[in-house]
Amino acid sequence: MERTFVMVKPDGVKRGLIGSIVTRFEQKGFLLIAMKLMSIDRTLAERHYGEHREKPFFGELVDFLTSGQVCAMVWEGPNAIANARGLIGSTNPAEASPGTIRADFALDISSNIVHGSDSLESAQREIGLFFDGAQPPGLLFRA
Ligand code: CMP
């Protein structure tokens, strides 16, 4: 079993899409391990997206992520990282396959509704960043 970090970004929260996104993960068969609605500060946003620090859109990305609440989640399942990215779809909604979250709910690469970890290392790092490194069984996690 594998765990991955998934985050509904401020555009998804503002548009009332948390329920639709959670439903898709549940329908696929993932197990919800942890979930919290939260505001994130610039330090956390910059650490989360550290690999994009040199990209021209980095400032815009941090502004966007700190513009409203996000819903941070940990989901578990076989090949959870790749399977979650399959559900989420390509980074650019214009290139995402129909039926994926980004294809169905988003139009713009900078407001693409949801984030999913892209590797085992990223998943472990991102879960640690958003859930204080807590490991099951912990307060935030199902035993
Ligand atoms: P995400 O999967 O959360 O990871 C990095 C994010 O950077 C990505 O989703 C996009 O929202 C954003 N991003 C990637 N490329 C661009 C771009 N060219 N312009 C603006 N934002 C981008």
Q: What is the ipTM of this complex?
A: 0.93
Can you give the pTM of this predicted structure?
Answer: 0.93
Q: How, if at all, do strands 114-116 and 70-77 pair?
A: unpaired
Is 53 part of a structural domain of the chain?
no
Cβ atoms of 137 and 31 closer than 8 Å: no
Q: Side chain identity at 3, as an amino acid letter?
A: R
Any idea what the CATH number is for the domain that residue 25 is in?
3.30.70.141
Q: What is the pLDDT of residues 109-120, one digit of tens each?
A: 999 999 999 999
User: Which residue's CA is minimally distant from atom 5 of ligand 1?
Assistant: 49
**Residue 140 within any structural domain of the chain:** no
Rg (CA), the chain: 14
Identify residue 15 by its one-letter amino acid code.
R
Domain count, the chain: 1
B/e letters for 106-131, b = 16+ CB within 10 Å, e = fewer, are beeeeebbbbbbbeeebbebbbebbb
Select from 6, 40, 57 the residue to mutate for testing ligand 1; criterion: most ligand atoms less than 8 Å from CB. Answer: 57
Report pLDDT digits (tens) over 91-100.
Answer: 999 999 999 9
